[in-house]
Amino acid sequence: MTVSLLILAPSCCDKSLKDIWDHVPPNWSGADPCGDGWSGISCINNRVVSITLASINLSGQLSSDIAKLAELQTCRFSILLSKFLFLHGASCPVFAKDLSYNEGMTGPLPPAIGNLAKLTSLFLANNMLTGPLPNLTGMNSLNYVDLSNNSFDATDIPPWFSSLQSLTSLIMENTQIQGQLPVTLFSLSQLQTVALKNNRINGTLTIGSSHSNQLQLIDLQNNSIEGFTLQADYSVQIILVDNPICNGGSTQSFCSIPQQSNSSYSTPAENCMPLSCTLNKISSPSCKCAYPYTGTLFFRAPSFSNYKNPSIFASLEQALMLTFRSHSVPVDSVSLSNPTKNLDDYLSVTLQIFPSGQDYFNHTGISEVGFMLSNQTFKPPPEFGPFFFIGNSYPYFSGFYAFRQKKRAETAAKKSDPFASWDPNTNSGGVPQLKGAKCFSFEELKRSTNNFSETNEIGSGGYGKVYRGILSNGQLVAIKRAQQGSMQGGLEFKTEIELLTRVHHKNVVSLVGFCFEHGEQMLVYEYIANGTLKDSLSADFGLSKPLGESERGHVTTQVKGTMGYLDPEYYMTQQLTEKSDVYSFGILLLELLTSRSPIEKGKYIVREVKQAMDVTKDMYNLQAILDPIVASGMSSRSIEKFVDLSLRCVQESGVNRPTMSEVVKEIESSMEMAGLNPNAESASTSATYEEESKGLNHPYSNESMFAYSGGYLPPKLEPK
């Protein structure tokens, strides 16, 4: 989604702004944006008067240096998100993000923004801005304000709501403003649109008899308004859905939203035969193949209801082309399609804009197009009413598009044959150090398990079944065979193999090999002769991969795991963290203490231990549920410490759980209390654990060859 910022004010060519932004145009080199011809920069008398940067994924913070541009008349920045979904009745819009394009302006707005006296339009919606709401008092040139969907501090209705005499559109959805709207707001003579839904506005809505005669829409959905004073026959569209005034089945018109109404309209070709284009180009209405700039026009209050009338949309096309041509914007033609009325009563129309004279736009062309649409220079036919524009990313700039297509082809090749780079006869290239892991054929594993017979089945779980097998060299192995529904993609399976081959510990079963034939995914482990993991207690948790918020192109799969082990926080946050592993380990400790499964006959082990324990009594009064071997083989104090540690690990809130290194220290302490030497019993102690977790050879180190296996700071773990 493209979001724009329009600023009118300030100075000369200050390089510091460029230095704090990412994804600036490639020709922004040198120290003089005027003399060096920077894309998106316009100058008069060697003074910057305009910055227009649209749909190039600009990101960073808006610093107070912007106020130094004393002659600036227009400044527009854009941020891109892939989709924007309007949810009726929700507390805020929901965003479906493509993680490649979700950067934007962050941090608080500088107070100096209030000094931009020439500013006409301020569009900072859908960023990640924080801190106090900006004070716009005295900015009397402002006609368009949209600060929606940021994380500003909660604040009362600001006084400047009623003082901006040039204001036409006030849009501040989901900005935590609270209190009663002043009637003087609606008396602003040029006011057309007030959209303040998903806030904390309360009291009585009073529009007054002297409201602006241009006022078309007041959208206050999902607030706390309890009354509405009717003083005249309003032609204004008012929406108060999800306010107390509309509770109890009110039949008032302002308490309902019209049903969806769609149209199949699409711009016809201009007396020519549409072409069959190659290289992802699209045939324009003038029958030329090109890469169009695509986005969506949202009309907040259209006055017509017949969306199947083609003449209405033809007039919109004509208005668009007239605007582009009158401002010498390099546009050949425009195409409209998919007119749709959504639940918010907004009319959305897909817009494709085709370049003139070449088959793609350059940076300046895209910025000019976006500027015309986002700063309200374009005026649609009156029946469409107020609008806003959301542009998609434009990846077709010369050079970049060829690179992008090459990367896509490489990715597709990897997905179709993820093991192509694993040449078993070489020790270089994409081949990981497999430590003896072998690529088995399906027939080899089929023979080793007697055609996967039930007699060789030794376990099963959410992933699939585990079979005992004997390889041709006589080695006994355990073969984990994924069932349908648990299959990963080829890249994910390759990822798991690469990670497993790098984890080595005396208490961890080693990977012998794998099979990726005939649609099968099998992992071959060394066989543990003393029984299955279940017999000794445990479950197969798989691997969790720490993933930084900004990582790109990562590999993830859905959560799979044994019932009773999964962190309860996951069900609320849909994220697994390092503390999720601690929770699972805590369940395992309780199993060791009680010799019970996590969930047994409908009883959850955590709840059973907590209900039975009494810290004032010996062994916390848990004798009845402790494993007799544990109860007789450990001192009361050791058992109590073990119980304390286990319950700390299974705290409901992850922040209250210990780290894994703290867990290891506690276990070592308990072993020493029992007269055991932890260094003799384990290949790694708490000291080596902490040291290895910091080293470059840690299996999940961000310094590894696997970019998707992020470091531990700050982690957002995704389940594997």
Neighbouring residues of 411: CB distance < 8 A, sequence distance ≥ 6? none
- Quickly count: other Cβ atoms within 10 Å of residue 230's Cβ: 12
Range 471-477 contact pairs with CB under 8 angstroms and sequence separation of 24 or more = 471/444, 472/444, 472/447, 472/448, 475/512, 475/527, 476/527, 476/529, 477/448, 477/512, 477/524, 477/525, 477/526, 477/527
CB 181, CB 205: distance < 8 Å: yes
Nearest Cα to Cα of residue 146 among 176, 163, 121, 164: 121
Using DSSP's 3-state secondary structure scheme, residue 19 falls into helix
CA–CA separation, 593 and 586 (whole Å)? 11
CA dihedral 319, 324, 325, 331 (to 10 degrees): -110
Nearest Cα to Cα of residue 215 among 154, 169, 171: 169
Burial of 361 (0-12, 13-18, 19+ CB in 10 A): buried
Residue 543 pairs with which residues in a beta bridge?
A: none
Instruction: Write phi, then psi, for 98 (nearest 5 degrees).
Output: -90, 120
Q: Is 506 annotated as a binding residue?
A: no
Nearest Cα to Cα of residue 23 among 102, 135, 133, 92: 102
Burial of 403 (0-12, 13-18, 19+ CB in 10 A): exposed
Encoded amino acid at 171, one letter: I
Dihedral-angle region of residue 309 (phi above 0 means left; psi in -120 to 50 means alpha; beta otherwise): beta
- Quickly count: other Cβ atoms within 10 Å of residue 650's Cβ: 22
CB 316, CB 381: distance < 8 Å: yes
CB 483, CB 465: distance < 8 Å: yes
Nearest Cα to Cα of residue 190 among 204, 219, 170, 220: 170
In angstroms, what CA-CA distances link 564 with 546, 559, 579? 22, 13, 15
Q: What size, in residues, is the chain?
A: 720
CA–CA separation, 305 and 307 (whole Å)? 6
Nearest Cα to Cα of residue 195 among 334, 298, 284, 117: 298
For 251-309, give the DSSP string: --GGG--PPP-B---BPPPSSSPPP---TT-EE-TTS-EE--EEEEEEES--S---TT-
- Secondary structure percentages of the chain, helix, strand, coil, to 5: 25, 20, 50
Angle between helices 578-594 and 636-649 (to 10 degrees): 150
Residue 202 pairs with which residues in a beta bridge?
A: 224
CA–CA separation, 363 and 575 (whole Å)? 38
Q: Which residues are annotated as a binding site?
A: 480
Q: Which residues are annotated as a binding site for ATP?
A: 480
